[in-house]
């Protein structure tokens, strides 16, 4: 028959509880009691006894202290689980006692082993008192009265430590003073002493109260930690000289001041003594860091040393920032922790020549120079460091890695990190630009490092509540393609490790953009074609005069009308009218290539050309002269009206040839 699952599990739990947890039972036997009489000046005191109760019985247990004297007196008192007191009235001085401890509960009882002593031997001596000390060398002195104990000899124990230590260092078999052989200079020590007066069963006194003493000064032995805060530039004129205050155990005395040596590019050297009693504005110290206020413009070397009453340190040189050095690229990462920033980097493929060490610095973004700033020097073989400080939550810190050479330094890598990430704020200045019928360019303003509350990983764009586009956190624009005509809605949100921030929304339309572009381009093309059609004829066409305004033609028309019957008379079948042949006039030089006019019988007339006419008689020549004279002026009706009739005032003997005659009439020979 199968057991139900639940009862089986309950049975297993009960078995585990029975085997693993301690079970209530009789108490364990306590240890033998240790008793003494505390020192009280002028009177006897109670007997104080202590013991170890052993294993916890898990149930209420009572403890009692029992004793018997040689006089046959027996008694008992209730005590705690670790101590009990025999009142003074229940024992006699210098009597022998046997003492034991009894523990009892509902399951039974147990008894300790018996302790035997004489009440005259368990008196504690008085507590010693440390009276004074000497600093050079460091030695303390105390006093102890053992006369009341019937002995003038004493042995003491001393324990000491520095104020920044927790554990004690103990020394034994000391008489009346203690000399600390190798103390740290200018360091505060704490001392305690306890003693025993010699006797057969002498007891050690209680520890004295803590006594403090400071060791003597010595010259500082370690150089200062010097660095500079140059902000975002490597210009030396923008750098602030800084150094860390030396701890007292390294300064080995009270710091009296600093000596700053400035070597300039022109060869001059300036030595500035900064006294801590009267700094005079040359040095400002806060949060265990000091800033040298004068400018470093034109400086080629800086050395700083600290001094006290016993001497000064070796000058520490500032590694001046340098750009343009050929250094390999390193992978540099910074991970945040609750109370620290963990920086790590990779070793270069080849060792950096002449490099002494690394420097890792951090700077709180947005603060003035030297504020929220610290640095730490790292051995050249190490690849990581933990930066500790009072880091503010949701605050950006610029962490940089430098390579340090003899008197110069070079930036290797940097990264932005946050001690704790929070949700970013709303994105600002979100707008649509260059809207087309199918695409748009969206732009926004970067969230500043001082307001982002965390490293911006990406920007999330949501089109019409469905399409999601993720944009890198270092971009501030996005080209959105594939849009249809109509209204569109776009959201944008910034994202950090803590999540997405609030959204910002814009609405735009692609309809106006589509209709405008649809008719704009064809309109521009049509306008350009119309302009070409208007301009070209105006520049290429030449106005030809109206032949009806010619005086010669008007005379010939009158003559023709008056003699129309004569022309068609059979008596004059061959009228004497000039024969006109229109010939296209080539462009040549008449002098270089003369034309010859020949008669029908092959005789030339001495005029160059290809035109052939009858041999002129005297009567024909006279008629031609009259005809030429009558056609010498051609009046254009349009020009006459435009010129106000001035053309009619021209003299008939003016040698004016119109464009019409040049084009149509025969050449005068």
DSSP letters spanning 37-67 = B---TTS---EEEE----S--SS--EEEEEE
pLDDT value of residue 564: 46
The pLDDT of 555-573, averaged and rounded, is 49
Tokens 């400080």 appear where?
A: 389
| Buried/exposed code over 554-574 (b: 16+ C-beta within 10 A; e: otherwise) | eeeeeeeeeeeeeeeeeeeee
Pick the residue with more confidence: 249 or 159? 159
- Res. 544: pLDDT tops 90: no
The pLDDT of 363-387, averaged and rounded, is 89
Structural domains of the chain sorted by starting position, each given as residue range(s) with its CATH number in brackets: 34-118 (2.60.40.10), 129-214 (2.60.40.10), 226-321 (2.60.40.10), 332-418 (2.60.40.10), 547-563+583-664 (no CATH)
Burial class (CB in 10 A: 0-12, 13-18, 19+), 412: buried
Identify whether the C-beta of residue 507 lies closer than 8 Å to the C-beta of residue 527: no
- Res. 517: pLDDT tops 60: no
Question: From the CB of residue 640, how many other CB atoms can be counted at a distance below 10 Å?
Answer: 14
CA dihedral 372→378→383→388, nearest 10 degrees, is -30
Pick the residue with more confidence: 493 or 482? 493
- Res. 603: pLDDT tops 70: no
Nearest alpha-carbon partner for 143 in 177, 172, 189, 190: 177
Q: What is the DSSP letter of 550?
A: B
User: How far is residue 404 CA from its own chain's centroid?
Assistant: 22
Q: How far apart are CA 594 and CA 604, in angstroms?
A: 13
Q: How far apart are CA 299 and CA 666, in angstroms?
A: 99
**105-119, 190-204, 654-668: which range is least confident on average?**
654-668
Burial class (CB in 10 A: 0-12, 13-18, 19+), 225: middle
Nearest alpha-carbon partner for 595 in 580, 613, 578, 618: 613
Q: Write phi, then psi, for 582 (nearest 5 degrees).
A: -80, 120
Q: Nearest-5° angle of CA 48, CA 54, CA 58?
A: 115
pTM: 0.57
Q: How far apart are CA 242 and CA 245, in angstroms?
A: 10
Q: How far apart are CA 87 and CA 67, in angstroms?
A: 12
pLDDT value of residue 73: 82
In 380-498, DSSP assigns E strands to 384-388, 396-404, 408-418, 431-433, 440-443, 458-463, 467-472, 477-480, 487-496
- Name the pLDDT band for 10 (thresholds 50, 70, 90): low
Q: Write phi, then psi, for 206 (nearest 5 degrees).
A: -75, 160
The pLDDT of 76-94, averaged and rounded, is 91
Q: How far apart are CA 423 and CA 454, in angstroms?
A: 7
For residue 112 the two structure tokens come to 């300790």
Tokens 């036997």 appear where?
A: 29
**Tens digit of pLDDT for each residue in 436-472?**
778 888 889 888 888 888 888 899 888 888 888 888 8
Please state, in angstroms and as integers, the Cα–Cα distance from residue 330 to each residue in 234, 285, 358, 410, 474, following that order.
Answer: 20, 34, 13, 13, 21
Q: How far apart are CA 405 and CA 353, in angstroms?
A: 9
For residue 379 the two structure tokens come to 């051995």
**Tens digit of pLDDT for each residue in 206-245?**
999 999 999 999 999 889 999 999 877 667 778 889 999 9
The pLDDT of 92-110, averaged and rounded, is 91
Q: How far apart are CA 302 and CA 472, in angstroms?
A: 43
pLDDT value of residue 451: 86
Identify whether the C-beta of residue 262 lies closer than 8 Å to the C-beta of residue 270: yes
Q: Sign of dihedral through CA atoms 418, 420, 424, 425? A: negative
- Name the pLDDT band for 508 (thresholds 50, 70, 90): confident
Q: How far apart are CA 279 and CA 265, in angstroms?
A: 26
Q: What is the 3-state secondary structure (H, E, C) of 4-30?
A: CHHHHHHHHHHHHHHHHCCCCCCCCCC
């Amino acid at each position: 028959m199968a057991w139900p699952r639940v009862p089986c599990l309950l049975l297993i739990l009960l078995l585990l509880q029975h085997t693993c947890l301690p079970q209530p039972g009789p108490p364990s036997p306590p240890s033998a009691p240790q008793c003494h009489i505390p020192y009280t000046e002028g009177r006897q005191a109670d007997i104080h006894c202590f013991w170890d109760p052993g294993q916890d019985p898990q149930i209420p247990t009572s403890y009692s202290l029992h004793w018997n004297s040689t006089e046959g007196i027996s008694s008992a008192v209730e005590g705690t689980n670790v101590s009990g007191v025999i009142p003074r009235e229940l024992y006699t001085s210098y009597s022998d006692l046997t003492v034991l401890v009894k523990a009892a509960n509902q399951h039974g009882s147990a008894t300790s082993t018996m302790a035997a002593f004489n009440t005259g031997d368990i008196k504690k001596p008085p507590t010693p008192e440390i009276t004074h000390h000497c600093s050079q060398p460091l030695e303390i002195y105390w006093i102890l009265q053992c006369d009341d104990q019937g002995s003038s000899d004493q042995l003491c124990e001393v324990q000491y430590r520095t104020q920044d230590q927790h554990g004690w260092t103990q020394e034994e078999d000391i008489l009346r003073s203690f000399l600390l052989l190798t103390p740290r200079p200018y360091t505060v020590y704490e001392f305690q002493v306890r003693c025993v007066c010699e006797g057969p069963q002498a007891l050690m006194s209680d520890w004295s109260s803590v006594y403090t003493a400071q060791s003597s000064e010595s010259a500082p032995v370690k150089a200062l930690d010097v660095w500079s805060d140059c902000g975002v530039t490597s210009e030396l004129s923008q750098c602030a000289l800084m150094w860390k205050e030396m701890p007292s155990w390294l300064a080995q005395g009270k710091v009296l001041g600093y000596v700053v040596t400035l070597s300039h590019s022109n060869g001059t050297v300036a030595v500035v003594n900064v006294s801590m009693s009267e700094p005079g504005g040359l040095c400002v110290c806060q949060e265990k860091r000091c800033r040298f206020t004068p400018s470093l413009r034109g400086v080629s070397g800086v050395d700083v040393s600290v001094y006290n009453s016993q001497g000064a340190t070796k000058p520490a040189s500032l590694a001046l920032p340098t750009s343009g050095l050929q250094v390999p690229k390193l992978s540099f990462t910074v991970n945040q922790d609750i109370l620290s920033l963990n920086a790590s980097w990779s070793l270069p493929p080849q060792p950096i020549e002449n490099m002494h060490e690394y420097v890792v610095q951090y700077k709180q973004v947005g603060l003035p120079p030297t504020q929220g700033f610290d640095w730490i020097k790292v051995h050249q073989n190490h690849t990581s460091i933990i930066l500790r400080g009072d880091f503010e939550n949701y605050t950006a810190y610029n962490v940089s890695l430098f390579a340090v050479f003899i008197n110069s330094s070079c930036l290797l890598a940097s990264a932005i990190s946050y001690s704790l990430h929070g949700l970013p704020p709303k994105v600002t200045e979100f707008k649509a630009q260059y809207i087309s019928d199918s695409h748009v360019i969206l732009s926004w303003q970067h969230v500043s490092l001082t307001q982002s509350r965390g490293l911006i990983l990406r920007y999330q764009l949501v089109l019409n509540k469905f399409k999601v586009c993720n944009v890198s956190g270092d971009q501030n624009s996005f080209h959105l393609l594939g849009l249809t005509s109509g209204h569109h809605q776009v959201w944008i949100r910034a994202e950090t490790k803590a999540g997405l921030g609030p959204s910002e929304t814009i609405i735009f339309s692609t309809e106006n953009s589509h209709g405008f572009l649809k008719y704009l381009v064809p309109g521009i093309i049509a306008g350009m074609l119309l302009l070409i059609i208007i301009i070209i004829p105006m520049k290429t066409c030449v106005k030809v005069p109206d032949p009806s305004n010619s005086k010669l033609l008007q005379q010939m028309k009158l003559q023709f009308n008056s003699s129309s019957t004569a022309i068609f008379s059979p008596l004059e079948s061959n009228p004497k009218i000039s024969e006109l042949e229109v010939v296209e006039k080539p462009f040549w030089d008449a002098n270089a290539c003369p034309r010859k006019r020949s008669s029908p019988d092959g005789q030339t007339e001495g005029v160059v050309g290809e035109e052939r006419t009858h041999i002129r008689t005297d009567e024909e020549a006279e008629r031609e002269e009259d005809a030429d004279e009558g056609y010498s002026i051609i009046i254009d009706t349009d020009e006459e009206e435009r010129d106000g009739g001035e053309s009619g005032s021209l003299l008939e003997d003016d040698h004016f040839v119109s464009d019409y005659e040049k084009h149509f009439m025969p050449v005068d020979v």
